[in-house]
Amino acid sequence: MFESLSDRLGKIFEGLRGRGALNATDVDNAMREIRRALIEADVSLEVVRAFVEQVKERAVGAEVTRSVTPGQQVVKIVHDELVAVLGDTASPIDLNARAPVTLLMVGLQGSGKTTTTAKIAKRLSEKNKKKVLLASLDTRRPAAMEQLRVLGEQVGVDTLPIVSTETPVEIARRAEREGRLGGYDVLILDTAGRTHIDEELMAETVAIKDIANPHEILLVVDALTGQDAINVARSFDGRLDITGIVLTRVDGDGRGGAALSMRAATGKPIKLIGVGEKMDALEDFHPSRIADRILGMGDIVSLVEKAAEHVSAEDAQKMAKKLKKGSFDLDDLRNQLLQMKKMGGMGGLMSMMPGVGQMKKAMANSNIDEKMFDRQIAIINSMTKKERAEPELLNASRRKRIAAGAGVEVSEINKLAKQHRQMADMMKKVGKGGMGALGGMFGG
Ligand code: GDP
Ligand code: MG
């Protein structure tokens, strides 16, 4: 089973709650896990090394907020640092230049240049109401020019007529002229790639750059490139001084490590991500979302905020005790249901809680949803105090009485009883196995 970094850190810091600041040993242990998580996310080794050093500096001696666990605190520090490296905000394509604003698409063969060219064209023409001209400079593969023409047609954007005898530089010149005379706002030049970096490709692309004088040079990189992404980004940036990166096939890579490597190596922003083969599968790059992917975590910060807002310290203490003892009765279930209702149900709170994936699944399997909260609370209200404390008392005749009282079918009582049993089991496991994630929630 995939264990997220947040879960792992929760384990490391288990039992350390209540300590004022993070000490060097705790942080060292946490850093081992962070290093592993980053490598698993395919972040390049040298970037991992530098990044871990940075985080360590910030983490040692950091105050642990009372309401969160040290594990959560470290995850937050790592998250913030990731966002700092990835860039704090989205950076859109810059069209602030004299028309036609030229965008040059570069990258290895198969990285998604032609597809991305058409996707960007579609977006600029539909959303930004720009008049866009596309030109393929890929003279190496005759099919490549045709591919761009077809995609252009599909997204309703003009392509430069194909003249099969021209060199890439000649096409670039003609495209610029056509863009200017044709009153285009934006000209996007799609180039040929290679299966790997070679000098001929670089020289050709540099020559195109000199002629086309592009306002943006976008390096297109496949997210699945993994460890090699850093070399690709360095080579292209070294020769061309790129202005941004487009990461494609993010739909196929849930980890996003390539983004971190390339950004750290070049300092150039990730501008867009490709999330599918369709022409509208293009999104702005949000550093914080990729940081979350790399960490594989829920939104800990908002979890902690929400928890502090809604769960009183007393309730939390009581719940923590119950969890430790493994006794979770129907009164507790009722309190849980009331709290969940207040916090906006499963969708809201539960989805933000790291480490409760299992519990969440069990609940989903037993069909808890927000609309059921009220009915379930009504059922529990129809029980006697004794029944709530000792659910095993619920025999057939008692169930019938409760059903009548709550105005539901007996089958619903059965369902609730079963669900309670599952939850109690789960709670017992969580209580024993590690209070890491739940600790911040109930034990704080
Ligand atoms: P180029 O050689 O760099 O021009 O690459 P292409 O644009 O021809 O793309 C190569 C293949 O990757 C095509 O089959 C595309 O449909 C596919 N592709 C491009 N971008 C994405 C993406 O973001 N997600 C997925 N799943 N496929 C993509
Ligand atoms: Mg192509």
What pLDDT band is residue 169 in, cutting at 50, 70 and 90? Answer: very high
Q: Is 277 in the pocket of ligand 1 (CB under 6 A)?
A: yes
pLDDT per residue as tens digits for the range 387-409: 998 888 999 999 999 999 888 89
Give 53 or 159, the one with higher predicted confidence: 159
Ligand 1 contact, 253 CB (< 6 A): no
Query: Which range (122-126, 370-374, 425-429, 434-438) has the least confidence?
Result: 434-438
pLDDT (0 to 100) of residue 348: 40
Distance 158 CA to ligand 1 centre (A): 20
Confidence of residue 350 (pLDDT cuts 50, 70, 90): very low
CA 438 from chain centre, in angstroms, equals 22
Lowest mean pLDDT among 43-52, 127-136, 261-270, 285-294: 285-294
Rounded Cα–Cα distance for residues 240 and 323 (Å): 59
Residue pLDDT, tens place only, 32-79: 878 887 887 788 888 889 888 888 888 777 766 655 666 677 777 888
Name the closest-CA residue to atom 27, ligand 1: 277
Residue 143 phi, psi (nearest 5): -65, -25
Interval between CA 232 and ligand 1 midpoint (Å): 17
419 lines ligand 1 (CB under 6 A): no
What pLDDT score was predicted for residue 335?
78
Q: Which residue has the higher pLDDT, 294 or 244?
A: 244
Mean pLDDT score, 334-349: 60
State which of 246-260, 325-339, 362-376 shows the largest mean pLDDT: 246-260
Q: If pLDDT is split at 50, 70 and 90, which confidence band does 197 have?
A: confident
- For residue 109 and ligand 1, the question of a CB distance below 6 A is answered with yes
pLDDT at 291: 79
Ligand 1 atom nearest to CA at 138: 4
pLDDT at 101: 98
Q: What domains can you pick out in the chain, each with its CATH number?
A: 5-86 (1.20.120.140), 101-295 (3.40.50.300), 300-443 (1.10.260.30)
Q: What are the start-end ranges of the E strands in 42-194? A: 101-106, 132-136, 158-159, 186-190
Which pLDDT belongs to residue 436? 36
The Cα–Cα gap between 437 and 6 comes to 8
Q: Could you tell me if the CB of 114 is within 6 A of ligand 1?
A: yes
Amino acid at position 269, single letter: P
**Contact by Cβ (8 Å): 31, 38:** no
How many angstroms is it from 148 CA to the middle of ligand 2?
Answer: 8
Give the 3-state secondary structure of residue 346: helix
Coil/strand/helix, residue 247: strand
The DSSP result for 19-67, as a single string, is -SB--HHHHHHHHHHHHHHHHHTT--HHHHHHHHHHHHHHHTTPBPPTT
Distance 115 CA to ligand 1 centre (A): 5
CB 264 within 8 A of CB 85: yes
Assess: ipTM above 0.90.
yes
Q: Is the CB of 221 under 6 A from ligand 1?
A: no
Quick: pLDDT tens for 287-326: 887 777 777 644 444 444 444 455 555 565 666 666 666 6
Q: What percent of the chain has pLDDT over 90?
A: 39
